[in-house]
Amino acid sequence: MAAAQDSYLKLLSNPLARELAGRLKLPRPAVLRRYRPGDPLLPGPVLVLGAGDSAGTLASALLDWGLDVRRHATPGERIGGIVAVLDDVAEPGDLAAPALALGACLRQLAPGGRIVTVSRPAAASAGAAAAPAAAAARQGVDGLLRSVARELRAGATGNGILLDDGVDATAPGVLGALRFLLSGRSAYVDGQFLLVGPGTGTVPADPDRPVAGRAAVVTGAARGIGAAIAEVLRRDGALVTVVDVPAAGEQLAAVANRIGATALQLDITRPEAGARILEHAAGRHGRLDIVVHNAGITRDKLLANMDADRWNAVLEVNLAAQLRMNEAFLASDLLGPAPRIVCLASTSGIAGNRGQTNYAASKAGVIGMVRASAPVLAGRGGAINAVAPGFIETDMTARMPPAAREAARRLLPSLQQGGLPVDVAEAVAFLASDAADGINGQTLRVCGQSLVGA
């Protein structure tokens, strides 16, 4: 299992080793709180901060979930989560009271706790700018949240939800994003923001099985992140088809048999790949509702040493094939009435990475494709988004030089460890569900607030 690759983290599960690490002032990363069916949403009460109307209505919504909601912190009480509702800030001076109130509660946050801000963007998605003072205050929330996330310890995380024009704090998409960010599903999402725009107003009937009955396909699913995505989608109720190249057929069949999926051996770079996937999904499930473009390759070289074969192979698999398949899907009546497409990008495509010009170009291209395709999917009642993993414990990271791998793990600002394939899978499954109503054209980083990227 990928989790076993971090031998230092495994060692620290021994109390004596953890005590010794403390005496030597070595990093002591926490075991992250990840989702398990049946676990409570939070490890304690949730505190809702904010004086405006939105804070009150959001507190009532959380009460409807059966959570123990507080409007004021009780001294000495452990808090499972803090929701800071800041959608009414109109000038920089408005930040002082909520920021200081948040700071006064931080020491009470339980291990694995969550902080979520709810605010508005400085500019709406349509491009309308707020007044300069309001824009400054709203952008200030960005710096506040990202900074406090770096101060958290014991596996706690901080993230934000942005309300687009016309969206209120209890819109279905806001509540869906809030549940995801408060839960163990977001264990490796830290210092990130999700913009919720107008949506269809639908929510999953069962929050533990948010894609029940939906027909999903996952490419590159024979191992690693792709296999984890397929497993989480199946756990959440989807009817899954796993796809990979014929050379990985044995591994692909093993994944399909383990999770109860169907397998399709296919080279996604073939011109007919999209039609083959549609035909397979329709033959078994009558339609295709969810597409996860996970398949990808690397052919790393410094650009000065790059040849055409390496460059073209990466761009073809990682980007061009997705464009062709999406075109085939969107042209077909077999695509479901509210389709969701989730694409795998990378933090390399956001910040670049030495020796990965081809890979970074392909993953940046995915982000651009997602952004440009969003209106088309919205027109069909669906959405397209991307997930950008950071340092995830996979076979690829296991091949890194040991010193570089260890540094990459421990230099993460608060979590001090690599993520797991399941962390990426949880984010993909969220974006593939109706819980992500109104989230479209965005890229969500799953990187433990890595220094790579913005």
Q: Which residue numbers are catalytic?
A: 359
Quote the CA–CA distance of 277 and 266 in Å, as a whole number. Answer: 9
Angle at which helices 249-259 and 224-235 pack, to 10 degrees? 20
Angle at Cα 394 formed by Cα 388 and Cα 396, nearest 5°? Answer: 90
Alpha carbon distance 444, 350 (integer Å): 11
CA atoms within 13 Å, Cβ hemisphere of 387: 29
Whether the CB-CB separation of 386 and 347 falls below 8 Å is answered with: no
DSSP string over 219-274: ES-SSHHHHHHHHHHHHTT-EEEEEE-GGGHHHHHHHHHHHT-EEEE--TTSTTHH
Token pair 């900074």 is found at 147
Q: CB–CB of 210/236 below 8 Å?
A: yes
Q: Residue 216: in which H helix or E strand, if any?
A: strand 215-219
Q: What is d(CA 2, CA 248) in angstroms, rounded to the nearest whole number? A: 19
What is the pairing mode between strands 157-163 and 443-446? unpaired
Nearest 10 degrees: CA dihedral of 344, 347, 353, 358? 20
Q: Cα(133)–Cα(115) distance, rounded to whole angstroms? A: 25
Per DSSP, the three-state class of 39 is coil
Q: Characterize the bridge pairing of strands 215-219 and 288-293.
A: parallel
Q: How many CB atoms are located within 10 Å of the residue 130 CB?
A: 17
Contact 444, 194 (CB under 8 A): yes
Helices 308-315 and 357-379 pack at an angle, to 10 degrees, of 20
Listing DSSP states for 306-341 in one string gives --HHHHHHHHIIIIIHHHHHHHHHHT-TTEEEEEEE
First to last CA, the chain: 30
d(CA 42, CA 205): 20
